Amino acid sequence: MNMTTPTEELHQQLNSWKEEVNEVRTEVKMMRERLEQIALSKASRDVMTKVEHFENRLLRQREVADEMYHDLKQCAKKVSNAPVTAVHDDRPIDDYDTMQHRMEIFQKLYISLKEEFNDFMPCEV
């Protein structure tokens, strides 16, 4: 039977979140490619307005994913008592509970974006 220490469990969770954030990055890239296909078509002005809306949201989602990934790495360093090379006053990485809360918000916002995007896309593909 494998016994894990609390620190090992924290690292496993942080690694799981990093993988999830990387999956979001990949999905955002695919969504942007789908939008590019529509942007190159002769879509109506209304559709192009929606494309621009999603391009902006996906760009921001990618930025947030990059920030989350970086902060998860910094949190993992802090948990392992390694020196943390960067401190973000606006994005706390001090403790696991803070990162857990931020990850929950990240997940909810991404799911909402993905659902809205998927509702838009079937009409246009």
Task: Note the pLDDT tens digit of each residue in 54-111.
Answer: 999 999 999 999 999 999 988 888 877 654 444 445 555 567 788 889 999 999 999 9
- pLDDT, one tens digit per residue, over 102-114 is 999 999 999 999 9
Residue type, 15: N
Q: At how many degrees (to 10) do helices 96-124 and 45-79 cross?
A: 160
Helix (H) or strand (E) holding 69: helix 45-79
Q: What local confidence, expressed as pLDDT, does residue 3 receive?
A: 44
